[in-house]
Amino acid sequence: MNPDLIISQDQLKAGDVHWQSPSNIAIIKYWGKHGIQLPQNPSLSFTLQNALTETKLSYAPKESPSKGIELDFWFEEQQNNVFGAKVANFLEQLIPTFPFLEQLSLKIQSVNSFPHSAGIASSASSMSALALCLCSLEDQFFGTLGDDVAFDRKASNIARLGSGSASRSIFAGAAVWGQTNLVAGSSDEFAVSIEERLHPVFKTLHDDILIVSDAEKPVSSRAGHALMNDNPYASTRYAQANQRLDILLQALEAGDLEKFGKITENEALTLHGLMMTSNPSYLLMEPQTISIIQAIRRYRKETQIPVYFTLDAGPNVHMLYPEEHIASVRGFVHGELASMLHDGVYIPDFVGEGPVEV
Ligand code: 2P0
């Protein structure tokens, strides 16, 4: 418990904090964790621009002092007690870090920019938006996080406790989470920006998210991470992620799209290979996932356009390509891929500028 972060009676007041925070797409995947949300290997992601969560945290002094969290949670403009119970549980765990939460009655209103049914992972955007709100709240009452670096670091750390991948969404451009000698200041506890290491071609990279299915995943990411503990390839995998990060960082700095693409696609298939080799084994790809992957590879070979795929923990395909090829690639999406998509839906996105305080 941090006794310095108790609000004095005369300072207790009502107000709100409000953030938009984006999702991110990992190139080097985080898959396997230990301890309290610590990664087994460093991961690297691009921060997206359009796929985001907007969270408003309103607060007022509790009517009468009590222990614990008092929370009214709204998702997509409807009161949602199922999500609310999960968020309240997370906030309870954060009371030692933010003891003032027990002094306040909280209302959280959260909306996603992407359709709820699109099957896109929202834990990165939602948990990072919530973490940013909590850090803003601390700063409003105590002025302790005025320094941007300290603010981002704490927000990333808190986001990580909610969902590992959320730690990376705090930063514009691209971020690395997990200690590695390849990135100065990197840590298992929070992500750091690597935006300044990106060649210009990667700063405007596109990510068209091709929606294959909106069904709920049969195995959650939480369960997937846990299955890595007994995966026979785990130690080789963690070593491989470190080696690939080294090569990827060189490619990102040099603007080497081919090297980037090889690692990106292999990481995606490795992630799903780890799922297939877990015990019990499971598959998150759908037949259309494979069809789209094959179509992308065929299109790349025919046109020589550097377009590559990656996958999250689900069947949807993220198609990555440089800005200059947008017209041709969109022709490919509408002409060849549309029939493989769920309701023909894709979400156009690109490397973004990070969270915004509203
Ligand atoms: C990643 N994924 O690096 C990897 C690759 C999905 C595929 O991290 O248990 O929701 O909340 O820490 O972050 C998804 O898992 O897992 C994920 P928790 P998270 O983005």
User: In this structure, are residues 200 and 256 in contact, taking their beta carbons and an 8 Å threshold?
Assistant: no
Do 20 and 58 reside in the same domain of the chain?
A: yes
Measuring from atom 17 of ligand 1, which residue has the nearest CA? 165
Ligand 1 atom closest to Cα of residue 33? 12
Predicted local confidence at residue 118, as pLDDT: 60
Pocket test for ligand 1, best of 24, 28, 30, 177 (most atoms within 8 A of CB): 30
Type of residue numbered 266 = N
Domain boundary among 198, 227, 247: 198
Predicted local confidence at residue 270, as pLDDT: 98
SS3 percent helix, strand, coil of the chain, rounded to 5, is 45, 25, 30
Q: Parallel, antiparallel, or unpaired for β 346-350 and 70-75?
A: unpaired
SS3 67: coil
**Residue 133 sits in a domain of what CATH number?**
3.30.230.10
Do 181 and 216 reside in the same domain of the chain?
A: no
Domain boundary among 181, 198, 215: 198
Ligand 1 atom closest to Cα of residue 312? 7
Do 190 and 234 reside in the same domain of the chain?
A: no
CA of 212 to the centre of ligand 1 (A): 19
**Residue 328 sits in a domain of what CATH number?**
3.30.70.890
Do 73 and 187 reside in the same domain of the chain?
A: yes
Measured CA to CA, the distance from residue 155 to residue 76 in angstroms comes to: 23
CA distances from 103 to 14, 63, 145, 170, 333 (A): 11, 9, 20, 27, 52
CA of 30 to the centre of ligand 1 (A): 6
Measuring from atom 10 of ligand 1, which residue has the nearest CA? 163
Domain boundary among 170, 198, 226: 198
**Count of the separate structural domains present in the chain:** 2
Predicted local confidence at residue 134, as pLDDT: 98
Do 186 and 232 reside in the same domain of the chain?
A: no
pLDDT beneath 50, residues of the chain: none
Pocket of ligand 1 (CB under 6 A): 26, 29-31, 37, 43, 123, 163-165, 221-222, 225, 271, 312-313
DSSP string, 236-295: HHHHHHHHHHHHHHHHHHHT-HHHHHHHHHHHHHHHHHHHHTSSS------HHHHHHHHH
CA of 331 to the centre of ligand 1 (A): 31
Look up the pTM and report it: 0.96
User: In this structure, are residues 108 and 150 in contact, taking their beta carbons and an 8 Å threshold?
Assistant: no
Ligand 1 atom closest to Cα of residue 123? 10
Measuring from atom 14 of ligand 1, which residue has the nearest CA? 221
Do 227 and 335 reside in the same domain of the chain?
A: yes
Residue 42: closest CA among 286, 301, 237: 237
Measuring from atom 4 of ligand 1, which residue has the nearest CA? 30
Range of the domain at 331: 205-356
Do 73 and 99 reside in the same domain of the chain?
A: yes
Measured CA to CA, the distance from residue 29 to residue 314 in angstroms comes to: 13
Here the tokens at position 306 are: 């550097």
Measured CA to CA, the distance from residue 67 to residue 50 in angstroms comes to: 38
Predicted local confidence at residue 116, as pLDDT: 65
Predicted local confidence at residue 217, as pLDDT: 84
Measuring from atom 11 of ligand 1, which residue has the nearest CA? 163
Do 263 and 348 reside in the same domain of the chain?
A: yes
Predicted local confidence at residue 332, as pLDDT: 98
Do 84 and 13 reside in the same domain of the chain?
A: yes
Measured CA to CA, the distance from residue 8 to residue 92 in angstroms comes to: 21
Do 71 and 141 reside in the same domain of the chain?
A: yes
Do 150 and 267 reside in the same domain of the chain?
A: no
Pocket test for ligand 1, best of 46, 130, 165, 285 (most atoms within 8 A of CB): 165
Predicted local confidence at residue 216, as pLDDT: 82
CA of 328 to the centre of ligand 1 (A): 32
Do 304 and 263 reside in the same domain of the chain?
A: yes
